[in-house]
Structure 1
């Protein structure tokens, strides 16, 4: 007979496995500090696909010996994760500031 405790344990294990499947790989491309919803996942996936497109375009430009265009693609490829990291830090900073503004009674 399946008890409630076993069901809860199985559910918890499933949630842990499913949560770790994509969050580590896509955390670099997420503008939010944590991937918490499907919207965050879709945005991170879009940025990851866009990054891959930039890198493939860079390789094609190098193959065709268009070095300036390849340099532009590389600079955009570097700028994308850096700007996403800056936006994550800004959101965390705003969140910390909002916590400090709460009254102590709360």
Structure 2
């Protein structure tokens, strides 16, 4: 006989088995309710490397006297940071919607 507690227990076991605990090397990532997948970690690390490269090249160009280049590189770093936040939020929303559509029979 299928009972509600039996279905809830099956769902809990399914979620525990399907959960991937990838170590996040992300400096700016906060702890999320969902475990990050490997692709999420790779994308965030690549975006962070681009952001840090923009910041470093901005400092170098400012030191060499290229103020406008430094300003544009700094703006690029801010845009990469904003893109990183947006990508993370969109992926979390997509995962939460997908989780809500999961049938209890699984």
Same fold by TM-score greater than 0.5 = yes
Task: Assess, with a 3 A threshold, how the Cα gap between structure 1 residues 72 and 45 changes in structure 2: closer, same or farther.
Answer: same
Gaps of 5+ in 1: 1-18
Q: Does structure 1 conserve the Cα–Cα contact (< 8 Å) formed by 2:57 and 2:73?
A: yes
What is the TM-score when the length of structure 1 is the normalising length? 0.56
1:105 deviates by: 4.5
Task: Assess, with a 3 A threshold, how the Cα gap between structure 1 residues 66 and 34 changes in structure 2: closer, same or farther.
Answer: farther
What is the TM-score when the length of structure 2 is the normalising length? 0.56
SS state of the match for residue 28, structure 2? helix
RMSD over equivalenced CA pairs, Å: 3.1
Number of aligned pairs? 82
Q: Does structure 2 conserve the Cα–Cα contact (< 8 Å) formed by 1:28 and 1:85?
A: no
Residue 58 (1) aligns with residue 58 (2): yes
Gaps of 5+ in 2: 1-22
Name the counterpart of 1:89.
89
1:42 deviates by: 4.6
Task: Assess, with a 3 A threshold, how the Cα gap between structure 1 residues 105 and 45 changes in structure 2: closer, same or farther.
Answer: closer
Q: Select the structure with the greater relative contact order (CA < 8 A; seq sep ≥ 6).
A: 2
1:43 deviates by: 4.2
1:40 deviates by: 5.0
SS state of the match for residue 26, structure 1? coil
